[in-house]
Structure formats: C-alpha cells, structure tokens
Amino acid sequence: MRCFIPASEWSASGLIARDDEAHHLIHVLRVEPGQPIKAFDGAGRSASAEIDLIQKHRVEMRVLQQREHPRPSVAITLIQAVPREQKMDIVIQKAVELGVTAIIPVLTRHSLLRLHKDGGESKQARWDKIAINAAKQCGSFWLPEIAPVQPLDEFIKAMPRFDLLLTCSLEPDALPLKEVLQSAKSQSPKSIAFLVGPEGDLNQEERAAVRRLGARPVSFGELVLRTETAALYALSVLKYEFC
C-alpha cells in the first residue's frame, strides 16, 4: 500500500495525509490504525510508516524508517505539443512510468488545443493528479516537473541547455533515431530533451527555430506515428539506451 505525501507534510517522526489522499486512504483503501504503509514525497524520499490516527479529512502516520533515493543518472525532458481530448492524459501517465524528469506542454501553430479562460490551470491540476497516481502505481520516488502550458515560441526563447536535443521530424534529411543515439552515446549525455510536435509536424518556422538551437531532427522510419505514440516510442527508446 503506497501513498503520496507532499514534503510539507513530513516531519522526522510523522506524516499527514490530507484532502484527496486522506479520502483515498479512508474510503477506498479503508485503512485502520496500526496498519503498515509506504509513503513517498515525489522528491526522492520514501518512508515505511504505520497508521496512527484517522480523522474525517486527515490521516496521521508514524514514521518507522526513512530513505533518500538518488535522482536518475540521466535527466530526460519531454517537450510535448499538446494533443486534444484525453491523449495528453495518456502521455503524462506513461511518461511518469518511463521516468521522465520534466514535461513541457507546448502549443504550436498546428496545435488544435485552445486554453480556457483559466489559462490551463484546470489542465495543470488534472495532469498533476495523473502524475501522482502513475508514480504511486509504478513505484517511482520522483515526480516530474510539469510546466504550465506555453507557446513553443516562448519556450524556445528561454530554453535551458541540454546535452542532447532531439526533435521528431518528417523532413527528408531527418536521420534514423537509432543512428543518432548510437553516435550520442559515446558523449554520455546527462540531460536529454525530446520535442514531439503535433499531428502534421511543426511548421517551417518552428522547425527552423529549433534547429537553430541545435536540435537534431530524427525519424522513426517509414510509418507516421500519432503524436502520443511518437512520445511513448521516443521515451521508451531513451529509457532503454540511457537509463
């Protein structure tokens, strides 16, 4: 039995679950005082604990043992053109399971998604919950940072430096992903970013902009993958090759 407790609710001797997590423990898992439980804070810390006190919207736990877990040796960032409907939910869930360090949702010229009046806050909250549930399920001790939705143009202006920056491409000069990664492995990159564009690829100006930043266009072969499939394919290959 595993639960997520944010760092603000940890102390040397106790943990406190509130709100959704407390509701899940009380009404879904039906925990009882004295019951053992595993907890993590999404920032590399885990604990073995036992249920101490159950209240209406609060569960207190007594810590038996704490551990610190190192960050992944290679940080992988997914820069994802946000697809419509529920496809991004799947991307978030599977990206967490595949151990990404950060997810950057971006809007491109060909994006079909349009933000509501809240500027994407509702989507952000939904994605955060999906990430937490995925981490609980797969046993991860680290939650990725999920950035606010932003136009690709704006992200490019302040893009951090990556040891290896790749982008999916349908252009004729894109090299096979396998070939690019074989070359890159000799350089032992510690930070990798993969840009996955929308259905139909980035437009000409966007492709040129990311190339100027040093992005290497890569191909997945003859088949044209949907954006969510491309993301999961790319992350799986990177996980296999570098982690």
Q: What is the CATH number of the domain that holds 91?
A: 3.40.1280.10
Q: How far apart are CA 91 and CA 80, in angstroms?
A: 9
pLDDT of 140 higher than 60: yes
Instruction: Report the amino acid identity of residue 109.
Output: R
| Residues in Cβ contact with 237 at an 8 Å cutoff, skipping those fewer than 6 apart | 177, 181
| Residues in Cβ contact with 63 at an 8 Å cutoff, skipping those fewer than 6 apart | 11, 12, 13, 14, 15, 47, 48, 49
pLDDT value at position 119? 55
27, 57: one domain? yes
pLDDT value at position 47? 96
The whole domain housing 161 covers 75-242
61, 161: one domain? no
pLDDT value at position 148? 94
pLDDT of 117 higher than 60: no
* Domain stops at, among 45, 68, 91: 68
Determine which helix (DSSP H) or strand (DSSP E) holds 136, and give its type and residue range.
Answer: helix 121-138
pLDDT of 152 higher than 80: yes
91, 209: one domain? yes
90, 61: one domain? no
Q: How far apart are CA 10 and CA 86, in angstroms?
A: 33
105, 214: one domain? yes
61, 79: one domain? no
90, 209: one domain? yes
pLDDT value at position 201? 85
pLDDT digits (tens, 9 = 90+) for 39-66: 999 999 999 999 999 998 899 999 999 9
* Domain stops at, among 41, 68, 95: 68
61, 84: one domain? no
Q: Output the domain CATH number for residue 14.
A: 2.40.240.20
54, 144: one domain? no
The mean pLDDT of the chain is 92
Q: Which of 73-77, 156-160, 169-173, 199-203 has the lowest mean pLDDT?
A: 199-203
Confidence band (pLDDT; 50, 70, 90) for 120?
A: low
* Domain stops at, among 68, 92, 120: 68
> Span 87-108, mean pLDDT?
96
200, 221: one domain? yes
174, 145: one domain? yes
pTM: 0.91
Confidence band (pLDDT; 50, 70, 90) for 223?
A: confident
Q: Which of 61-65, 94-98, 119-123, 218-222 has the lowest mean pLDDT?
A: 119-123
85, 45: one domain? no
pLDDT digits (tens, 9 = 90+) for 181-211: 999 998 999 999 999 999 888 889 999 999 9
pLDDT value at position 118? 56
pLDDT value at position 241? 93
Give me the number of domains the chain comprises: 2
CA atoms within 13 A on the CB side of 141: 13
% of the chain exceeding 90 in pLDDT: 81
pLDDT digits (tens, 9 = 90+) for 30-40: 999 999 999 99
